[in-house]
Structure 1
């Protein structure tokens, strides 16, 4: 079976020359469709740079990146934007909601950019908000919701268009322990429905909830293993 994500000898070098920094140093990684993978590393390890590459937010200095069999390492900005819009649902630590829009309007916004008609847009947004348990808060604005609820809106926005890949960057970083548990439960349920979930974190306890853990240090993958406790479930 063709891998969902295939990274070959990927390097990202900042400030090439005398003071160059190798944020990624010949990274090789394969992720299959339907996997739940945590990429873990401390600040400066290269995990955020790797996330930017996997999410087509940046391009490598050298190496190859195949997403769904397509080589995206050589694509231009417009093509990368199209792939981000159609293939990847992003969840960020900072929620990134628009403050003067309601929950449902925030979820519908990316669907407008995809050219989806009003009635279909509303249906997809309601399905996504139902999935994260916010069907009764659809007309609330971000300031009227808790941090956990705002992150659930952000998850609904990421999944509304049913992208094959969910890329979550420190999704529980700004949340208390109860909200963290809630958000991780939603990510697990998304994985159970067949989504591929890639979670970026610095927290071992969060990483241990994924089925597979990839540890990055100084721009290199130093560990890649399956979490037997989670695989058994």
Structure 2
């Protein structure tokens, strides 16, 4: 089976020339369908640049990026926007919810750009919020919810359209330990159901929740290992036995 993510010798270079900065320095990375992978690195390591690349928020200076078989490294901004809307569910550290909208409206918003009917949007948004345990908070606005609840709304927004990839950028960074564990539990459940989860973090303890751990330093991948403490997901095991 062809890889879901296939990054080949990708460079991201700022200020080319004498003072150039190589935020990504020849990165090659493949991610299969249904993996749970953590990309871990300290501030300035290149992990955020790699996240932007994986999320089609930026394009390489050199190299190629194939997402589900399509070379997205040469697409226009409009084409990248369409890819993001259909293929990737984003979960950010800062939640990025709209304060004037309630939970269900925040979850519905990205679905509008998919051309879905109002009834279908409402159904998918309700299902997603119920999925993350917020079926009783549909009409609450962000300021009426705790940080953990807001992050669960953000996860519901990411999964409502059932994208194949969940890209979580420091999803527990603004949360207390209990809320952080709740978020990681939801991400783990999504992985067990067959989603591909890509976790970006600086926290080794959070990274240890993933089945596969990739470490990046100075724009280069320095290690890529399977975490034997995390068993493979049932969905992946089932696919391997077909």
TM-score, L = length of structure 1: 0.99
Q: Where does structure 1 differ by over 2 angstroms across 4 or more consecutive aligned residues?
A: none
Q: CA-to-partner distance for each residue in 1:87-118, whole Å, 9 max, x for gaps?
A: 00000000000001000000000001111101
Show the counterpart of 1:159: 159
RMSD: 0.7
Deviations 1:121-166 (A, max 9, x none): 0110011001100000000000000000000000000000000000
**Could you say what secondary structure the match of 1:155 adopts?**
helix
Say whether 1:88 aligns with 2:76.
no
Q: Within 2, Cα distance between the matches of 1:57 and 1:174?
A: 22
2:37 pairs with 1:16: no
Aligned counterpart, 1:58: 58
- 1:96-111 matches, within 5 Å, as 96-111=96-111
d(CA) in 2 for partners of 1:193, 1:211 = 14
Q: What residue in structure 2 maps to residue 179 of structure 1?
A: 179
2:216 is paired with a residue whose SS is strand
Please state whether the residue corresponding to 2:231 is helix, strand or coil.
helix
> Which residue matches 2:237?
none
Deviations 1:170-225 (A, max 9, x none): 00000000000000000000101100000000000000000000000000000000
Cα distance, 1:231 vs structure 2: 2.4
Separation (CA, whole Å) in 1 of partners of 2:178 and 2:160: 24
The separation in 1 between residues aligned to 2:80 and 2:137, in whole angstroms, is 33
User: What is the aligned partner in structure 1 of residue 49 from structure 2?
Assistant: 49
SS at match of 1:230: coil
Tell me whether 1:27 sits opposite 2:27 in the alignment.
yes
Q: Is the 8 A contact 2:126 2:135 kept in 1?
A: yes
Distance 2:168 2:181 in 1: 15
**Corresponding residue for residue 144 of structure 1:** 144
Count residues in correspondence: 233
TM-score (norm 2): 0.95
Match of 2:228 in 1: 228
Which residue does 1:211 correspond to in 2? 211
Query: Structure 1: any 5+ residue segments left out of the alignment?
Result: none
Equivalent in the alignment of 2:193: 193
Q: Give secondary structure in 2 for the equivalent of 1:52.
A: helix
1:17 Cα deviation after fit:
1.2
Cα distance in 2 for residues equivalent to 1:96 and 1:222? 31
**Is the partner of 1:175 in helix, strand or coil?**
coil
Q: Secondary structure at the match of 1:122?
A: helix
Distance 1:79 1:113 in 2: 13
Q: Structure 2 stretches of 5 or more lacking a match?
A: 234-242
Deviation at 1:18, TM superposition (A): 1.6
Deviation at 1:232, TM superposition (A): 5.8
SS in 1 for 2:74: coil
Query: What's the counterpart of residue 78 of structure 1?
Result: 78
